[in-house]
Amino acid sequence: MRRLLRDEGLVAALPGWILARVAVGLGFMTALVATDELRAGGRTIQLHQGLFAWDAAFYRDIADYGYHGVAREGLRFFPLLPLAARALSGPLFGHVGLALIVLVQVAALVAAVLLYRLTLHETGDRATARRATWLLALLPPATVLVLGYAEAVLLMFAIGFFLAIRQGRWWVAAALGVLAGLSRPVGMTLALPALIEGARLLRQAPWRGRVARAAAVASPIAGGLVYLLWVGHVYGDWELPLRLQNSPDLRGGYANPLSTIWHAVRSIDGGALGEGLHVPWIAVFAVLLVLAFRCLPVSYGAWSAVLLLSALTGHTLGSFERYGLAAFPLVLALAMVLRPPLLERYALIASGAALTAFATLAFVGAFVP
């Protein structure tokens, strides 16, 4: 235990992790006051749900009742987090919801510790590594790392996956890739950075090394296919989770990214707060993507580009910021830019304040995290 408490990654990540939970808590209290004072219709359903607001309620209900016990729409949520919460609920006297929240909080902290180690591996700079953990915790989209979403679990496995492939630990990457694919649909895209890294020095690798690299490349897709094939066996349609995600009230199918961006820009004049709020984030993530390609190995930028593009190809931009946060190389690139101490300080203060604001909007039902 003493050795764990002295782990430099944990020491660096823990303060930001704690502050993020304080910020979301302040957002919840602000939303309570705002709705009680200003909203004639009373408190929103998100306030009643608390940490299970929005998609988190689906994860909790799937863990509690299984896929047959929720609406068909629940099939779009991949199974690892609900299954893990179900398993952990035993020692917690059957409290599935508590188990799920505990898992998310632990996963968010582990993800930050792994990001510290990965940043240190890539830059050799402890200050940048510490800064990256704080940014991961305090950037406004990190609201989902406090609520009962699966993003914290995906980030934990995705960052661990990158660390493994960058260190040449291909079988470790293969195990993490399967788990990432079972966590979220976008987890399957980790096959791309594995392919890029696996192709490096491939000719010099022995045949066992080539097999290990191939396993790492295939593992994220294999993890996702396990769930999709189960859905196909039980419901007769393995594509059902993907089609549900593209339903008209969610992504709305596939669209030209430029058209989606233009629609969001025009919505600012039309007073559509939800869509308009995505526009500055599109610009910020675009700049960070360029920086990621310039400052980091190409596998980082390529994976981030795929995640952002997948978010921009829907007819709506709901939860766009969540996809940007999942593209953690963008966070790493931002940490590398914010080297001046004064700039770092102001950026972290602004991020914490904006995290509270985002959480408030989420709890009053004005913004989908």
- Residue 369, pLDDT > 70, answer yes
Kindly state whether residue 162 falls inside one of the protein's structural domains: no
Kindly state whether residue 231 falls inside one of the protein's structural domains: yes
Predicted confidence band at 255 (pLDDT cuts at 50, 70, 90)?
low
Mark which of 208, 226, 245 sits at the end of a domain: 245
> How many domains does the structure of the chain reveal?
3
pLDDT value for 273: 55
pLDDT value for 277: 73
CA 80, 83, 89, 90: dihedral to nearest 10 degrees? -130
CA distance 55 to 330: 24
Range 68-82 average pLDDT:
93
pLDDT value for 144: 96
260 vs 338, more confident: 338
Range 23-36 average pLDDT:
92
Express each pLDDT in 184-221 by its tens digit.
Answer: 999 999 999 999 999 987 777 788 889 999 999 999 99
Range 150-177 average pLDDT:
97
Same domain assignment for residues 80 and 194 = no
**3-state SS, residue 39:** coil
Range 251-269 average pLDDT:
66
Same domain assignment for residues 101 and 23 = yes
Q: Which two tokens stand for residue 157?
A: 């496995």
The mean pLDDT of the chain is 89
Eight-state DSSP code of residue 184: -
Same domain assignment for residues 119 and 23 = yes
Same domain assignment for residues 139 and 184 = no
97 vs 268, more confident: 97
Kindly state whether residue 158 falls inside one of the protein's structural domains: no
Same domain assignment for residues 12 and 127 = yes
CA distance 356 to 31: 10
Range 25-54 average pLDDT:
85
pLDDT value for 320: 81
pLDDT value for 147: 96
- Residue 77, pLDDT > 60, answer yes
Rg, Å, the chain Cα set: 20
Same domain assignment for residues 264 and 240 = no
Kindly state whether residue 165 falls inside one of the protein's structural domains: no
pLDDT value for 173: 97
Same domain assignment for residues 219 and 236 = yes
Same domain assignment for residues 95 and 25 = yes
pLDDT value for 281: 86
Predicted confidence band at 148 (pLDDT cuts at 50, 70, 90)?
very high
User: How far is the CA of 339 from the CAs of 57, 128, 164, 278, in angstroms?
Assistant: 39, 7, 26, 26
Predicted confidence band at 4 (pLDDT cuts at 50, 70, 90)?
low
Same domain assignment for residues 212 and 304 = no
pLDDT value for 342: 93
Same domain assignment for residues 275 and 352 = no
Same domain assignment for residues 257 and 240 = no
Kindly state whether residue 85 falls inside one of the protein's structural domains: yes
Kindly state whether residue 229 falls inside one of the protein's structural domains: yes
**3-state SS, residue 117:** helix
* Angle between the N-to-C axes of helices 126-138 and 328-337, in degrees from 0 to 180, rounded to the nearest 10: 130
Mark which of 245, 275, 296 sits at the end of a domain: 245
Express each pLDDT in 334-347 by its tens digit.
Answer: 999 999 999 999 99
Mark which of 221, 245, 269 sits at the end of a domain: 245
CA distance 28 to 79: 28
CA distance 120 to 129: 6
Which residues lie closer than 8 Å to 320 by C-beta, 6 or more apart? 278, 281, 282, 311, 312
Express each pLDDT in 306-332 by its tens digit.
Answer: 999 988 887 676 778 888 899 999 999
Of the listed ranges 140-144, 208-212, 225-229, 344-348, the one predicted with least confidence? 208-212
Kindly state whether residue 134 falls inside one of the protein's structural domains: yes
Same domain assignment for residues 7 and 70 = yes
- Residue 259, pLDDT > 80, answer no
Kindly state whether residue 156 falls inside one of the protein's structural domains: no
Express each pLDDT in 266-311 by its tens digit.
Answer: 666 655 555 667 788 888 999 999 999 999 999 999 999 999 998 8
Of the listed ranges 5-9, 130-134, 266-270, 320-324, the one predicted with least confidence? 266-270
Let me know: does 318 contact 264? Beta carbons within 8 Å: no
User: What is the reported pTM?
Assistant: 0.94
Task: Note down the domain range covering 212.
Answer: 171-245
Range 253-264 average pLDDT:
67
